[in-house]
Amino acid sequence: MTNNLLTCGQLERKLSQKIQAFYRQHLGHQPSKVTCQFFGSKLAIIIENSITSAEQILLDEGKNDLAKKVRSNLDDAIQPELKELIKEVAEVEVVDILSDATLDTGRTGIIVVLSQTPQVRNPESIPKAKN
Amino acid sequence: MELILFQKIKDVYQEELEQQLDNISYKLFDRTLVITLEGIETLPEKLLKANNRYDLAQQVRKVIDSVINPQIKNIIEEVLDVKVIDFLSDTTIDNNITGAIAIFEFKPKDT
């Protein structure tokens, strides 16, 4: 049974690819890089170049406040499906999603609180959060 | 380092909001610090929520975060001796948790 499980690195890569495709499908824009990293029962996701062309136009036109509002609403809109995607791939319940983006750098950061540490072939490689 | 980091963040909450945090956890990846704060919700926010003023509670939290989170960013820069180039943070008052991701670069060494 254990052999059927993905390693932590494989699961992180699979999630990264799925999230990249998810952004492309839902926002029509493919981020240049998605990094996923489990730590304890949490998952950190960093999405580079996550800003859509529509938002970029708003920024270019000096409509920064509107761009921020659009980004915040887009994040809210895609969150339920993102939650489902993570649940499906990692096979754990998602308790909470915390998300923020910086329009200047185009970077989005997400912290996902999971119900438990996902099952992987090498559980010892998932670093524990320090507290 | 983590003790200083945790204490300084707790102090900010205590000094600014008279709020004692339940728990702080963090993970350091290369040039990335992920940090979560639990027990961030103040009593006024709880009261607003309990009295069906959820939207107002969220507005309050937004302002609180805009005051607190830059201070957390500064603490990270000071304690880790780095320059934070991106600071991403969010709070859900439902789950009483704030999460932040700091992307940083090391300061050039003085010659």
Is A125 among the domain residues?
no
Tell me: ipTM over 0.90: no
CATH number for the domain harbouring residue A84? 3.30.980
Report the DSSP pairing between strands B32-38 and A42-48: unpaired
Across the range B77-91, mean pLDDT stands at 95
Q: How confident is the model at residue B111 (pLDDT cuts 50, 70, 90)?
A: very low
Q: How confident is the model at residue B69 (pLDDT cuts 50, 70, 90)?
A: very high
pLDDT tens for A6-17 read 999 999 999 999
Is A124 among the domain residues?
no
Residues of A in contact with B95 (CB under 8 A): 95-96, 113
Between chains, do B101 and A113 touch, taking CB under 8 Å as contact?
Answer: no
Is A62 among the domain residues?
yes
Is A126 among the domain residues?
no
pLDDT tens for B14-68 read 998 888 999 999 999 889 999 999 999 988 888 888 888 889 989 889 988 999 9
Where are chain B's structural domains?
Answer: 2-106
Phi, psi of B62 (to 5 degrees): -60, -45
Residues of A in contact with B72 (CB under 8 A): none
Considering chain A, what is the average pLDDT of its residues?
91
**Which structural domain, as residue segments, surrounds residue A76?**
2-117
Count other C-beta atoms under 10 Å from residue B68's C-beta: 22
| Alpha carbons A83 and A112: distance in angstroms, whole number | 9
- CATH topology for B2-106? Alpha-Beta Plaits (3.30.70)
Domain count, chain A: 1
Q: From residue A36, give the alpha-carbon distance in Å to each of A83, A104, A109, B101.
A: 14, 22, 10, 13
